[in-house]
Structure 1
Amino acid sequence: MTRVVDVNMPNRLWGAAGAIALMACHLPAQAFDMTWSGFGTIGYAQSDQPVNYQRFIDEKGTFKRDSILGAQLDARFSQQWGATVQAKVAPSDHRDTQWQASLAWAFVSWRPSDDWLIRVGKLRLPFMLNTENADVGATYDFVRLPQEVYSIAPTTDVIGLSASKTWFGETYDWTAEAYSGKASTYWRYYGRDRKFDTNSPGSWFLPIDMKSTGLVLTARSFEHVFRLGYHEGEASRPGEKTGVGFEMGNCPGAPVFGCYNLSSTTVEKVRVPIITLGASVSLPENFKLTGEYGKAKVESASRGLSRWGGYVALSKRIGAWTPYAYYAKVKSTGDALDLYQRLNGNSGAVPLPWQGYQRMLADLVVPYDQSTVALGTSYWITTKSVIKAEWSRVDTQVASSFVDAPVGGESGNRQIDVFSLSYSFTF
């Protein structure tokens, strides 16, 4: 499964965003300040493989993986009260062939004092160091943020409440942020031989309701940033229960053969605890060392989502240039990878009509086991526009759900070279 960020906005939130904008437009000029801004990325990526990587990247090349366009309205009604609405156009979160316009942010903020901030509405959560600004490519040097880490959370957006408290110090400012909210999102699955309910291969998107609560502590100085977070998620399927595993039984119509099937045991909700760590440290000679780590646990049939991911990156500012290199890795638990191999291996032990079904069940495990080495550079044309180029090599081991394997093929034991070029801007 490739996690897809939730941009499926309820109609009531669109209405709330419209109300915020309308209220801002009709207040007296002296009552508020209103600021418009925009951002975008035109990104092209091409690999040396015919299979899709991260939904869109293949040997034919694509603009869909990294391209995005957005606009933001910030309104300040007083020193204490404000509102933010951000809309964007990006690839759809529930179809691989379409684009989608949506609201990314829509919240009201209240700052009762300099050290307190309370926000209510559609929020982006403070998971990793660049999660909140992930759509704005002109705020970081990478062509794309390492998905080995930035895909750990099922969703990074919620409709809810956030409260943060800052302690200002001589060296570091410390901020503790607590949040709670809900989101409706999709989890993407890909079946090599067939989808869950049809005999044709391809992707399908499972609607998921998420509840998420967390606490994040950030220490920030002029040169360094450190972050630690614990997030408690709860996932459920609207109107349906979730399978928790697989069980061996007879193949229908061929009782002499053993087939795996979805377990009859189901649950209403699945607990998803996530731990996140991040640090960005400035070094002498304009070097910067950045590392991030995330670990999630999911007790369901898709137990490959129980995984850890991390990366370490080194960059150096040389005038307008910032060359960088990073190494990233993501790996599901050993139990999940063993389960995938048992299901996948059983396809060779059953008659032809059931081979594709066994491989589809293996794909439902959503295994991750890959590493990436990337070399790239950014060139800052201005402080608000940047050109980036990157080469990365992806090595998959047992399997990787970032790769859409071909019919009868495998996502594991692959080496994929990806070449990327992008232009990002803000205004």
Structure 2
Amino acid sequence: MSARLLATLAGVAAMLALVVPAAAQTPPPVQLSGFATLGALVPDRSDLWFYRSGVNAPGKNRVDLGTDTLAGVQGSLRLGDSSDFTLQIMASETPRGDYDPRVSWAFWRYNPNAALTLRVGRLRVPFFMHSDSLYVNYANPWIRPPQEVYGLNPFSEIDGADLLVRVPLNGADLEFRPYFGSGRIDVADGGSARLRDVRGLTVNLLKDELNLYLGHGEGRLQVRWGDSGHRTLVAGLGLAGGELAALPARLSGRRGRASFSAAGLQWDNGEWLAIGEIVRRRADRYVNSARAWQLTAGRRIGAFTPFLTLARQTEERPVAQAVIADPTLAAGFDAYLASRSGAQRSVTVGLRWDFARNAALKTEFSRVRVARDAWGSFFPRGQEAPGGRTVHLLGISVDLVF
């Protein structure tokens, strides 16, 4: 964490605290809350596993309970009239396949007035419009946010700081949030990834039923793959020698850079709901560059909310490029690139039933078409790769907040 940037944010906070009146209401000294989801996902193909990069392990059973099931508790301790400390602990399936609890939030917040909030610690990084409610599934219409969009950036937390500044604007609220920090995630088969020196800015415009979101962040990327496909390809490239011997340095290492941009719109008048998002990831190595979008429309009819979601992810540039004369090694390289691409498109029909206060039952049926040279959101159980295949998914969940 940069001491100079932290001092700058704190200085801005102190200046704004002098010119903006403090909020009148004082919260109770301790606030406790929690959230939970019990979910099950069933694909129509027994030779594929569903996988959310950086979130869970590929499902080993036909009925996968690990994709969406989670629980979290959160507590906030007031430290004074304008500051508090928040701790959130969450348990869900990890890419290692266990359910060890982890600290997902742990930050000190300085909130002298309604116009300013400074946070320092472990934060949810605001890469997406719905990042703050990423795991509080009750707050979203879907069982899980569309994988085509939200799978494009698996980093959900950073250790750092952010500053939220709210500015009234003609009956609307304009929010600016600069942030910086570093984050780490595990990936399947013993790998890991780090995003260091992340710097970004989000802008939100909120007016009545409308929320407009823009965001951009970038940082240094480190990736260490641990799967057998990576190890086999690296060994083959080393034996080939020549220019190919330098190719593994573009597949994993500590010298990458990546950026992520996003735009979103949500309109919700209490009866009709519309959500649209478009995102783009650019990287110079280790992961591919890609773009994605999703559009959701729903209507509340009493306690029921049927909705429709269209989503698509498209690859812009593969992880690496090379001309390989050996046909066996070339085929292995192409297969490797496909395994690193999440390109796919989907149509999802869902229904949410708010059957009790703070509890909802959701069902979804998705038709997913994986791009020909990609694995999409799936891992193969056998020899046949997911590329070019159509997969149907049935999901059901119960979401709670308390």
Q: Return the letter of the residue paired with 1:67.
A: T
Counterpart among 361, 364, 387 of residue 361 in structure 2: 387
Q: 1:16 matched to which residue of 2? A: none
Q: 2:247 matched to which residue of 1? A: 263
1:362 aligns with 2:337: yes
Q: Number of matched residues?
A: 360
Native 8 Å contact 1:47 1:58 kept in 2: no
Native 8 Å contact 2:318 2:337 kept in 1: no
The equivalences for 1:229-268 within 5 A come to 229-236=215-222, 252=239, 263=247, 268=254
Q: Return the letter of the residue paired with 1:274.
A: F
Pick closer, same or farther for the CA change 1:316–1:185 going to 2, 3 Å. Answer: same
Native 8 Å contact 1:48 1:58 kept in 2: no
1:329 aligns with 2:296: no
Q: CA deviation at 1:358?
A: 4.0
2:279 and 2:200 map into 1 onto residues whose CA distance is 14
1:46 aligns with 2:42: yes
1:61 alignment partner, SS class: coil
Native 8 Å contact 1:35 1:73 kept in 2: yes
2:371 alignment partner, SS class: strand
**What's the TM-score once normalised by structure 1's chain length?**
0.76
The equivalences for 1:178-327 within 5 A come to 178-188=178-188, 203-236=189-222, 252=239, 263=247, 268-282=254-268, 286-302=271-287, 304=288, 306-327=289-310
2:349 and 2:77 map into 1 onto residues whose CA distance is 40
Q: CA deviation at 1:282?
A: 3.3
Counterpart among 84, 87, 91 of residue 85 in structure 1: 87
Deviates more, 1:386-395 or 1:97-106: 97-106
Q: CA deviation at 1:184?
A: 2.4
Q: Return the letter of the residue paired with 1:180.
A: F
Q: 2:400 matched to which residue of 1? A: 425
Output one character per residue of 1:307-328: Cα deviation in whole Å (capped at 9) or x when no partner: 1011001000101101000100
Pick closer, same or farther for the CA change 1:92–1:187 going to 2, 3 Å. Answer: closer
1:64 alignment partner, SS class: coil
2:165 and 2:347 map into 1 onto residues whose CA distance is 38
1:328 and 1:122 map into 2 onto residues whose CA distance is 30
Native 8 Å contact 1:47 1:59 kept in 2: no
Pick closer, same or farther for the CA change 1:99–1:401 going to 2, 3 Å. Answer: same
Q: CA deviation at 1:155?
A: 1.0
How many percent of aligned residue pairs carry the same amino acid? 19
Q: Return the letter of the residue paired with 1:47.
A: P
Q: 1:66 matched to which residue of 2? A: 68
Pick closer, same or farther for the CA change 1:154–1:272 going to 2, 3 Å. Answer: farther
Structure 1 gaps of 5+ residues are 1-29, 189-202
User: What do you get for the CA RMSD once the two structures are aligned?
Assistant: 3.1
1:60 and 1:265 map into 2 onto residues whose CA distance is 37
Q: CA deviation at 1:35?
A: 1.1
1:362 alignment partner, SS class: helix
Output one character per residue of 1:14-60: Cα deviation in whole Å (capped at 9) or x when no partner: xxxxxxxxxxxxxxxx9961011111000011011121022445771
Q: CA deviation at 1:140?
A: 1.2
1:65 and 1:47 map into 2 onto residues whose CA distance is 12
Structure 2 gaps of 5+ residues are 1-25, 52-56, 225-229
Q: Return the letter of the residue paired with 1:185.
A: I
Q: 2:151 matched to which residue of 1? A: 151
Pick closer, same or farther for the CA change 1:261–1:362 going to 2, 3 Å. Answer: farther
Pick closer, same or farther for the CA change 1:407–1:118 going to 2, 3 Å. Answer: same
2:283 alignment partner, SS class: coil
Q: 2:29 matched to which residue of 1? A: 33
Pick closer, same or farther for the CA change 1:70–1:281 going to 2, 3 Å. Answer: same
Native 8 Å contact 2:49 2:58 kept in 1: yes
Q: 1:197 matched to which residue of 2? A: none
1:426 and 1:401 map into 2 onto residues whose CA distance is 31
Native 8 Å contact 2:182 2:194 kept in 1: no
Q: Return the letter of the residue paired with 2:299.
A: K
Q: 1:411 matched to which residue of 2? A: 386
Q: 1:131 matched to which residue of 2? A: 131
Output one character per residue of 1:278-324: Cα deviation in whole Å (capped at 9) or x when no partner: 100236x922211011101011143x2x1101100100010110100
Q: CA deviation at 1:338?
A: 9.6
Output one character per residue of 1:159-214: Cα deviation in whole Å (capped at 9) or x when no partner: 111111101245311100000011222344xxxxxxxxxxxxxx342343533111
2:102 and 2:271 map into 1 onto residues whose CA distance is 38
Pick closer, same or farther for the CA change 1:99–1:261 going to 2, 3 Å. Answer: farther
1:404 and 1:265 map into 2 onto residues whose CA distance is 25
Q: Return the letter of the residue paired with 1:409.
A: E
2:336 and 2:182 map into 1 onto residues whose CA distance is 29
Native 8 Å contact 2:158 2:181 kept in 1: yes
1:166 alignment partner, SS class: strand
Native 8 Å contact 1:259 1:358 kept in 2: no
1:250 and 1:219 map into 2 onto residues whose CA distance is 50
**What's the TM-score once normalised by structure 2's chain length?**
0.81
Native 8 Å contact 2:71 2:91 kept in 1: yes
Native 8 Å contact 1:276 1:292 kept in 2: yes
